Amino acid sequence: MKVAIIGTGYVGLVAGTCFAESGQDVTCIDVDEEKLQALRLGQIPIYEPGLAELVRRNLDAGRLHFTGELPAAVGPAQVVFIAVGTPEGETGRADLRYVLEAAEQVGRALTHYTVIVNKSTVPVGTADRVHAAIARNTRCAFDVVSNPEFLKEGAALRDFLKPDRVVIGTRSERARELMGELYAPFVGGENPLLYMDPCSAELTKYAANAMLATRISFMNDVAALCERVGADVEWVRQGLGADKRIGSAFLRPGIGYGGSCFPKDVKALMATAREVGMEFDLLRAVENTNTRQKRCLLTKAVKHFGDLSRRTFAIWGLAFKPRTDDMREAPAVELIEGLLGKGARVQCHDPVALESARRYFGDRVTYAPTCYAAAEGADGLFLVTEWNAFRHPDLKRLKATMRSPTLFDGRNAWDPQRAREEGFTYFGIGRTR
């Protein structure tokens, strides 16, 4: 099957590569010629474990192509995916300008019946708007399908190749059959292909991310309550997670969620509700809790040290989560800005996100080549992103390196008792042990 994918960002590149890996003939389209030249050489612009190797393998096999010529790629395709950006608009609703521009271009390029798939995260009702934009520019038969992505950064290949589910929003039997054929290599057994109407598919994406964000904020509020009443959140978390009705996923307290999806999708779902006269009060609380949580380590540092000016702090972890270099809405950004705003010096390290950090902070912070170099002379160390390399530090070496042995564990990744036995002052999230 010939597949065209408009957009070589995170979603488009992963989807195109994985479809090629399943044997399809895939052409990815972008307007950035410099980016295309790099992709043709197997050089990818994002950090995602395993993706570069998969791109190169499918380039070598002749199943994956990159072009700036949309009509040449869309014309022969049976399925065209729109996977362009949907940035947050002023009201919180996703900005659809790039989606609708792509739809118009697709309409002008169609030569036969084609299924056009919304892969971008879009508000409810977008399938109808895309259909109208294409219809104004073609006389060819076509169908528009909503097929939201559920990729986790750092595990995107696994999520695509072995998905929990694939959601297909369409009312067309013809489109349903074609999409079923395309996704057949990835689904089966406990990994279902779920068919529904386009509006339900669009809402499923937002609802899924909002639910996960809600679990995170709920647990962070529980952690805050633990600190006030003398309970330990780790024991509370284990008691909750053992209940099969609840489960343990997304119940680990920390310093808030970030990334390109949760913050934006929570706002977008709230905006959708407002447009139909509903206030999504629960999600407003989720958002408020997350905002507060991103400041909790700074609050602990101020309470412990008082004046932070002329003090030096180490930051371990800059990306919003491990296994990615993405710093969009990352808790580390707010923490570092808070420390700098109080006159502190910041020395930071991340296994892959240092270049991303330079775009945020320039020369306002020090970028250390190793985690221990970041800790040299530090009054306090903040663990912000729980990379595996940070989970078992050499505490004796760390204590000898730091000026003041104080740990702020933003992910409850370290053993408080062991840290205290080694002479550290330890602060976690909702920890009393």
- d(CA 167, CA 147) in angstroms, rounded, equals 6
Burial class (CB in 10 A: 0-12, 13-18, 19+), 78: middle
Q: Which residues are annotated as a binding site for substrate?
A: 150-153, 205, 250-254, 258, 321
pTM exceeds cut of 0.85: yes
Cβ atoms within 10 Å, residue 165: 14
- In the block, which residue shows the tokens 């775009």? 359
CB 63 within 8 A of CB 24: yes
Q: What is the pLDDT of residue 367?
A: 98
Burial class (CB in 10 A: 0-12, 13-18, 19+), 417: exposed
Q: Is 67 helix (H, G, I), strand (E, B) or coil?
A: strand
- d(CA 183, CA 280) in angstroms, rounded, equals 34
| CA-closest candidate to residue 375, choices 410, 334, 346, 338 | 346
Q: What is the pLDDT of residue 326?
A: 94
Q: Which residues are annotated as a binding site for NAD(+)?
A: 30, 35, 86, 121, 153, 264, 328
Burial class (CB in 10 A: 0-12, 13-18, 19+), 279: exposed
- d(CA 46, CA 34) in angstroms, rounded, equals 14
Q: What is the pLDDT of residue 199?
A: 96
Q: What is the pLDDT of residue 181?
A: 97
| CA-closest candidate to residue 332, choices 429, 256, 250, 428 | 256
Q: What is the pLDDT of residue 378?
A: 98
* Residue spans of beta strands (DSSP E) within 218-328: 312-316
Q: Is 79 helix (H, G, I), strand (E, B) or coil?
A: strand
- What value does the mean pLDDT of the chain take? 96
- d(CA 188, CA 192) in angstroms, rounded, equals 6
**In the chain, which residues have pLDDT < 70?**
none
pLDDT in tens, 77-130: 999 999 999 888 777 788 899 999 999 999 999 999 999 999 998 999 999 999
Q: What is the pLDDT of residue 188?
A: 83
What domains sit in the chain, N to C, each tagged with a CATH number? 2-192 (3.40.50.720), 205-292 (1.10.1040.10), 294-427 (3.40.50.720)
Q: Phi first, then psi: give them for residue 108, nearest 5 degrees.
A: -70, -20
Given the residues 18, 28, 226, 261, the one annotated as active site: 261
- d(CA 343, CA 147) in angstroms, rounded, equals 48
pLDDT in tens, 300-325: 999 999 999 999 999 999 999 999 99
- d(CA 418, CA 422) in angstroms, rounded, equals 6
Task: Copy the structure tokens of residue 338.
Answer: 């808070």
Q: Which residues are annotated as a binding site?
A: 30, 35, 86, 121, 150-153, 205, 250-254, 258, 264, 321, 328
Task: Copy the structure tokens of residue 56.
Answer: 């190169």
Q: Which residues contact 133 (CB under 8 A, 6 or more apart)?
A: 100, 103, 104, 107
261 is catalytic: yes
